[in-house]
A and B are shown apart, each in its own frame.
Chain A
Amino acid sequence: MDGIEPHFMSMASLTKDQPRSSDGLQMDWINVPFGPFFPGLPAGLHLTLTLDGDTVAGSDTTSLVGAMDLLDGGQMAAADFVDRLAAAIPLTPVAYRALACAALEDAAGIAPSADQHRSRAAAIERERIASHLSWLAEFGAQSGFAWLAGRAGALQLAVQTADITGISTLAAPIARLTRRVQNAPLLRMRLGGIARVAKDSPASGPVDRARGGGSDVRSGDATMTALGFEMRSQDGGDALARMRQRCDEIGQSIDLIAAAGMIAKPGLADIGTASGAGMATVETPRGAARLHVTLTKGQVVEARLDTPSTRHLALIDTLTARRELGDALVAVGSLDLSPWEIRG
């Protein structure tokens, strides 16, 4: 070319066929692993981000802990299956224990008493409070909000084993925490507009309800209706709306537990040597989980599980694309994935 020295190394020609950033610049793309043990993400989640500078160009997410078979061998006793499923999802064992019990009782044609329904519902609501507080603590740790991480973590531990009286004692400090979190202007700045989930994307639980409308399995449950449950939702569908939705649900769960007046770990009714197929759906803290089971002479011979985290996993690629790294990690964190729930 005229006016250019013969050995001039042109950046334009050197980078001609290499991938371009959205701003037109060419940079080296690197694959960076986040997890399975990363401070800002749940343990067991393996997230690999392809970074273009500090902007996410692509992602790949897997769980290293969610591939456990539902059945130990070809078949297993119903009571053992309940314990196995609860142990397989250690972040929300009560909800999955209740799910297994409900599915097996449906297969056996047994209807639990009203009191059993109420105490199970209260136990799941207690777990919902603990789970959402745990998410707040994790978010605090991820975003460097040490006070939130410490306070929410301490309340979560207290809630996990609290009885009805304990929950009512903890109601005031929990309300103060959630009020403060929802009103914090810097949190609004940190989360507002990040990771907006489109209306047509597959989602459930708080992620679904935070985008306006949405669904909740509890809406169709007679026990929950009797306890005064009404579905709550937020507008916006971004990370801020999801945080507010979870804070709102914490307060609602405290009220539901008080209305139930009893709380007990879900237990399986005696199903004897019943045979049949059954199905149950439970609104776990992360969304609706559905379990299909087949019983043969009191033995579980087939089980299929559909979990909310498996559905939410598909959102990560869209929510992180072209996001700055910090925002992308907040986006993943705001989905509240449980690696143990991710099947396959």
Chain B
Amino acid sequence: MSILIILLSLAAGAYVLAVLERWAVHGHLSLTGPAWAALALLGRESVLARTPDRLFFEAGPVLLLVAGLLAVAVIPLAPGLIITDLATGALFLNAALAYVLVALIMAGWGPNGAYGMIAGWRFLGQFIAYAMLIVMPITAVAMRAESLSTTAIVTSQAQLWNVVYQPIGFALFVVAAMGLAWLPPLDLPDAPGDLAGGVEAEYTGVRLAVLRLARMVIILALAGATVTFYLGGWLGPWLPPAAWSAIKILFVAAAMLSVGRYMPRIREARYLALSWKLGISLALANIFVVGVIALVVPI
């Protein structure tokens, strides 16, 4: 039953997110817009690129969707409302999202086109920038909860949310999550002005619909992870726990979608330099500070 509820919530969330994205990008708030766009994609011819690597071309979008769904599986929406409450949930989430890289390289390589291929390799470079900044803040979160279980991580924030307890980790995780979801200003793999859609450039029809749906699921998974790790998950007064989860996840996702509208795309070299020189130093400092607080003044 939990699985069905979560999958239905995910579908609804992906739709709401698509509405918000259209609003953020095009400035039009249309509740039916994504439905019409999806129908148009499903009705459109699914063009096959000339001499593609068929396996990679077909499997890339599907693997991306699977990676997103696996990540969602360990995000608790309410006490007991989780697909699987693994003891190593935080680690599993990280492992599932690692396949985003594999899927994007496959989707970029598969069509045998320059834009997609460059986009795929660009994402590999981006991975080098964000990967450590996903893992290291999660380490500090798990240190406080003394567990890798996502449910335990939420309950560990009953007294104080992690966004207050470890704000540096929160900031680093959100920026890294935006890199993982290739959201502006870290949208190097699909940069419309550089690569005319990049990984998406050679996909049409149903395949493109799957690719876009997968991306929405990944954004939701990352927003869910942010809420779980830093914003107290389902915790909150008055409303039912699941409602708090939904509100927080949609708010974080909307913020992640909107913020890139107000800044230019960052250069790849600059992103790498900032991530490694500044980001990792801050992440190490965050782990140290959280460790000291956990030992001296456990909250």
- Contact yes or no, A39 B267, CB < 8 A: no
- Contact yes or no, A39 B118, CB < 8 A: no
B51 to chain A, nearest CB (A): 14
B24 nearest in chain A by CB position? A146
User: What number of A-B contacts does a CB cutoff of 8 Å give?
Assistant: 78
Q: Which of B192, B195, B264 contacts A190, CB < 8 Å?
A: B264
- Contact yes or no, A54 B192, CB < 8 A: no
- Contact yes or no, B121 A146, CB < 8 A: no
Contacts A38-B196, A144-B264, A146-B261 given: A51-B114 contact, CB under 8 Å? yes
Contacts A186-B263, A324-B268 given: A144-B121 contact, CB under 8 Å? no
Indicate whether A329 reaches chain B with its CB closer than 8 angstroms: yes
- Contact yes or no, A150 B27, CB < 8 A: yes
**Cα distance A304–B66 when bound, in Å?**
62
Residues of chain B lying within 8 A (CB to CB) of residue A39:
192-193, 196
Residues of chain A lying within 8 A (CB to CB) of residue B261:
146-147
Interface string of A32-54 (1 = CB under 8 A from B): 10000011100000000001011
Tell me which of A40, A143, A144, A187 has the highest count of chain B C-beta atoms within 10 A of its own C-beta.
Answer: A144
Residues of chain B lying within 8 A (CB to CB) of residue A150:
27
Indicate whether B50 reaches chain A with its CB closer than 8 angstroms: no
- Contact yes or no, B185 A144, CB < 8 A: yes
Residues of chain A lying within 8 A (CB to CB) of residue B195:
325
B117 nearest in chain A by CB position? A30
Indicate whether B187 reaches chain A with its CB closer than 8 angstroms: yes
Indicate whether B142 reaches chain A with its CB closer than 8 angstroms: no
**Cα distance A234–B268 when bound, in Å?**
27
Residues of chain A lying within 8 A (CB to CB) of residue B184:
144, 146
- Contact yes or no, B122 A189, CB < 8 A: no
Indicate whether A283 reaches chain B with its CB closer than 8 angstroms: no
Indicate whether A327 reaches chain B with its CB closer than 8 angstroms: yes
Residues of chain B lying within 8 A (CB to CB) of residue A38:
196
Residues of chain A lying within 8 A (CB to CB) of residue B265:
143-145, 190, 326
Residues of chain B lying within 8 A (CB to CB) of residue A51:
114, 118
**Cα distance A199–B261 when bound, in Å?**
36
Instruction: List residues of A (39-89) whose CB comes within 8 Å of B's CBs.
Output: 39-40, 51, 53-54
**Cα distance A146–B267 when bound, in Å?**
16
Indicate whether A142 reaches chain B with its CB closer than 8 angstroms: yes
Contacts A39-B192, A51-B114, A324-B269 given: A186-B185 contact, CB under 8 Å? yes
Interface size class of B (residues with CB under 8 A): 20 to 34
Q: Which of B24, B25, B194, B264 contacts A187, CB < 8 Å?
A: B264
**Cα distance A150–B261 when bound, in Å?**
10
**Cα distance A134–B64 when bound, in Å?**
37
- Contact yes or no, A40 B194, CB < 8 A: yes
- Contact yes or no, B267 A32, CB < 8 A: no
Interface string of B22-58 (1 = CB under 8 A from A): 0011010000000000000000000000000000000
- Contact yes or no, B114 A30, CB < 8 A: yes
**Cα distance A186–B194 when bound, in Å?**
18
B122 nearest in chain A by CB position? A54
A38 to chain B, nearest CB (A): 6
Residues of chain B lying within 8 A (CB to CB) of residue A274:
none
**Cα distance A190–B264 when bound, in Å?**
7
Indicate whether A162 reaches chain B with its CB closer than 8 angstroms: no
Contacts A144-B187, A146-B261, A147-B261 given: A189-B267 contact, CB under 8 Å? yes
- Contact yes or no, A145 B188, CB < 8 A: no
Indicate whether A141 reaches chain B with its CB closer than 8 angstroms: yes
Residues of chain A lying within 8 A (CB to CB) of residue B185:
144, 186
- Contact yes or no, B264 A143, CB < 8 A: yes
B25 nearest in chain A by CB position? A146
- Contact yes or no, B114 A324, CB < 8 A: no
A136 to chain B, nearest CB (A): 12
Q: Which of A141, A186, A187 contacts B193, CB < 8 Å?
A: A141
Interface string of B187-224 (1 = CB under 8 A from A): 11001111110000000000000000000000000000
Residues of chain B lying within 8 A (CB to CB) of residue A144:
184-185, 187, 191-193, 260, 264-265
- Contact yes or no, B194 A32, CB < 8 A: no
- Contact yes or no, A329 B193, CB < 8 A: yes
Interface string of B250-265 (1 = CB under 8 A from A): 0000000000111111
B27 nearest in chain A by CB position? A150
Q: Which of B25, B27, B194 contacts A325, CB < 8 Å?
A: B194
Residues of chain A lying within 8 A (CB to CB) of residue B266:
186, 189-190
**Cα distance A51–B114 when bound, in Å?**
10
Instruction: List residues of B (264-279) whose CB comes within 8 Å of A's CBs.
Output: 264-270
Tell me which of B27, B121, B188, B267 has the highest count of chain A C-beta atoms within 10 A of its own C-beta.
Answer: B267
- Contact yes or no, A186 B267, CB < 8 A: no
Instruction: List residues of A (115-152) whose CB comes within 8 Å of B's CBs.
Output: 140-148, 150
Q: Which of B114, B187, B188, B270 contacts A32, CB < 8 Å?
A: B114
Query: Residues of B at under 8 Å CB distance from A?
Result: 24-25, 27, 114-115, 118, 121-122, 184-185, 187-188, 191-196, 260-270
5 contacts between A and B (CB under 8 A): A144-B185, A144-B193, A144-B265, A147-B261, A326-B188
Having A39-B193, A144-B191, A325-B194, one finds 18 other A-B pairs with CB under 8 Å, namely: A30-B114, A32-B115, A40-B193, A141-B192, A141-B193, A143-B193, A143-B264, A144-B260, A145-B264, A145-B265, A146-B24, A146-B25, A146-B262, A189-B266, A189-B267, A190-B265, A190-B267, A324-B269
